[in-house]
């Protein structure tokens, strides 16, 4: 269902691009905008993972530096049928995590020290399984394609604003229609892009629950993380809001609603979806998984 919804949203985004392109720049303007946007996102596709990890101060760990955490990710990767990703830890008190990389063979997962201190083993396994589900679902590729089209729409709007767009008096839209398109097309593209991001989060929640086998542990983790994220600021994410959609919980302050302008679903809706999935699995308890531990605050990263 999430895959179908993503496909429909991407089709709507492409339709919006074609409509805006024809109105504002005809075929030539549409082609120029798409080539420029595709070029920028092609660079990002190959380099964004390194840039984001460096931006958030992530440090790579291995069996020696974080043996328990590394072993957990390794076990989950095997369960998911994925190559072992690179594993990173960010020195950040806000509990959060993200995945990056252009494909499963070049993936990385990162967790904050705040996450490692807050969660018990089952909950941590659920979060990292969620991130591996993003890798398995190739969500990085989906969001890169989405960003390419949304970026092209924004460029078309800029062309229309600075160069007057289509001045053909026979246009059924007229000058007012062109002005509205310049204003509304980028806004509509942003809304569709955010809707796709929210859809991929639901898909990763379900995939993570399947990989870890513990949907309620992931639900418990989401409750803990969202509560802590409201209290603990993430200055790096605030300074780089374009990376917010990558995290399992929105790291930005003041953007917790499951509304049109949110990159993440409301955690309560995600938890409810996980509860329903747990009932389908016949697994309503988080304490029966292979990483069972008593929840407690820890002084440092796993391992």
Catalytic residues: 131
Burial of 167 (0-12, 13-18, 19+ CB in 10 A): exposed
Q: Are 127 and 248 in contact (CB under 8 A)?
A: yes
Provide the 8-state DSSP code for 104.
G
The residue assigned the tokens 């600075």 is 162
Task: Taking each helix axis as running N to C, give the angle between helix 67-80 and helix 174-212, from 0 to 180 degrees, rounded to the nearest 10.
Answer: 100
Task: Taking each helix axis as running N to C, give the angle between helix 67-80 and helix 121-136, from 0 to 180 degrees, rounded to the nearest 10.
Answer: 50
Neighbours of 82 (CB within 10 A): 17
Contacts of 280 (CB under 8 A, 6+ apart): none
What φ, ψ does residue 86 adopt, rounded to 5°? -70, 145
Q: Are 115 and 93 in contact (CB under 8 A)?
A: no
User: Taking the mean position of all CA atoms in its chain, how far away is CA 65?
Assistant: 27
The residue assigned the tokens 């201190």 is 117
Sign for the pseudo-dihedral over CA of 16, 22, 25, 29? positive
Residue 50 CA to residue 293 CA, distance in Å, equals 33
The three-class DSSP label of residue 112 is strand
């Amino acid at each position: 269902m999430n895959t179908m919804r993503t496909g429909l949203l991407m089709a709507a985004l492409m339709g919006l691009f074609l409509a805006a392109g024809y109105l504002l720049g005809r075929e030539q303007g549409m082609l120029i905008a798409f080539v420029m946007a595709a070029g920028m996102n092609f660079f990002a596709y190959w380099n964004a993972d390194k840039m984001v990890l460096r931006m958030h101060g992530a440090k790579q760990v291995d069996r020696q530096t974080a043996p328990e955490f590394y072993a957990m990710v390794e076990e989950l990767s095997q369960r998911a049928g994925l190559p072992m990703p690179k594993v990173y830890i960010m020195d950040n008190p806000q509990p959060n995590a993200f995945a990056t990389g252009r494909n499963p063979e070049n993936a990385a997962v990162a967790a904050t020290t705040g996450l490692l201190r807050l969660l018990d083993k089952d909950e941590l396994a659920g979060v990292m399984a969620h991130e591996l589900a993003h890798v398995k679902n190739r969500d990085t590729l989906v969001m890169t394609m989405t960003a390419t089209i949304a970026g092209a729409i924004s460029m078309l709007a800029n062309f229309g604003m600075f160069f007057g767009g289509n001045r053909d008096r026979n246009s059924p839209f007229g000058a007012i229609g062109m002005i509205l398109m310049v204003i509304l097309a980028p806004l509509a593209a942003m809304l569709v892009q955010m809707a796709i991001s929210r859809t991929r989060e639901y898909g990763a929640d379900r995939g993570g629950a399947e990989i870890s086998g513990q949907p309620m542990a992931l639900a418990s983790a989401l409750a803990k993380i969202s509560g802590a994220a409201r209290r603990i600021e993430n200055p790096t994410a605030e300074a780089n809001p374009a990376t917010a959609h990558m995290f399992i919980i929105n790291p930005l302050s003041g953007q917790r609603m499951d509304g049109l302008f949110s990159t993440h679903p409301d955690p309560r809706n995600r938890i409810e979806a996980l509860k329903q999935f747990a009932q389908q699995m016949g697994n309503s308890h988080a304490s029966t998984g292979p990483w069972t531990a008593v929840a407690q605050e820890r002084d440092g990263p796993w391992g």
